[in-house]
Amino acid sequence: MALFLTNDGSHSVFSETYGVSYHSRYGAVTESAHVFIAAGLRYKAVVQREIAILETGFGTGLNAFMSWLEAERRNLQLRYVGLETAPVAPEEVQVLNYAELLGVPERSGDFLALHQNTWGAEHTLSEQFQFRKEKIAIEAFEATDTFDVIYFDAFAPQAQPELWTAEVFARMYQALRTDGVLVTYCAQGAFKRTLKQVGFHVERLQGPPGKREMTRATRM
């Protein structure tokens, strides 16, 4: 893997295995704020204060960290589960600049804790944030009526087509509660047809910088 700066000054990581980066080159923090926090977490926070989130692709921990900060700002109760099979190397985690870019340099230790906490165990990191990460493949994960929001943040379909199948999204549909939402940066036509095939109601939303559209899908 190789660390690089995105256009908003925040770090991302390039996966040499898959030939793609973990975040948009137009801005890692900007993309996470737009796709996952605004269209997912804040969208659900309008109607409920206790929210369970599943992230498929824990990666650099940016989405989890930003969700934690958002929960504290809005006094939400978050239960967060992140899936990852190839954790970012500790030496790269140490230099990621998210706490500084988000204006909370004093929380750098909390960001590191997301990576250092034991896999497969529940961690109460604050009154607003309960966290668990699982070293399990997305296509092997099973849950029923458990989550309110899914951050679907896997690598793009051209890099990991096995994660963008009807079987995987049927599992995601089952994992959500009624009216739960799946949000992702992807807006490909074939992907949206797959979502509809397994039962989702699909919305086309304005994308973050560098992308015209993104997707939010609701379990009806």
Task: Please give the mean pLDDT across all residues of the chain.
Answer: 96
Which residues on adjacent β-strands are paired with residue 202?
A: 217
Residue 186 pLDDT class (50, 70, 90 cuts): very high
pLDDT band for position 28 (50/70/90)? very high
pLDDT at 73 over 90: yes
Among 64, 56, 133, smallest CA distance to 96 is for 64
Q: Looking at residue 118, what is its pLDDT?
A: 97
Tell me the backbone φ, ψ of residue 52, rounded to 5 degrees: -105, 125
Mean pLDDT of 165-187: 98
Instruction: Decide if pLDDT at 6 tops 90.
Output: yes
Q: Stretch 112-121: mean pLDDT, rounded?
A: 97
Give every CB contact of residue 189 below 8 A, 6+ residues apart in sequence.
none
Q: Say whether pLDDT at 18 is over 90.
A: no
Domains (range + CATH), the chain = 28-219 (3.40.50.150)
Indicate the SS3 state at residue 76: coil
Write out pLDDT tens, residues 37-67: 999 999 999 999 999 999 999 999 999 999 9
Q: What is the pLDDT of residue 1?
A: 62
- Please state the rounded mean pLDDT for residues 88-115: 96
What is the token pair recorded at 32? 């996470």
- Tell me what percent of the residues of the chain surpass a pLDDT of 70: 100
pLDDT, position 2: 87
CA distances from 41 to 3, 46, 71, 216 (A): 27, 9, 9, 12
Is residue 18 within 8 A of residue 197, CB to CB? The reply is no
Cβ atoms of 164 and 155 within 8 Å: the answer is: no
What are the beta bridge partners of residue 203? 216
Q: Residue 113's pLDDT is what? A: 96
pLDDT for residue 25 is more than 70: yes
Looking up tokens 């009807």 gives 166
The sign of the dihedral angle between the CA atoms of 73, 59, 140, 136 is negative
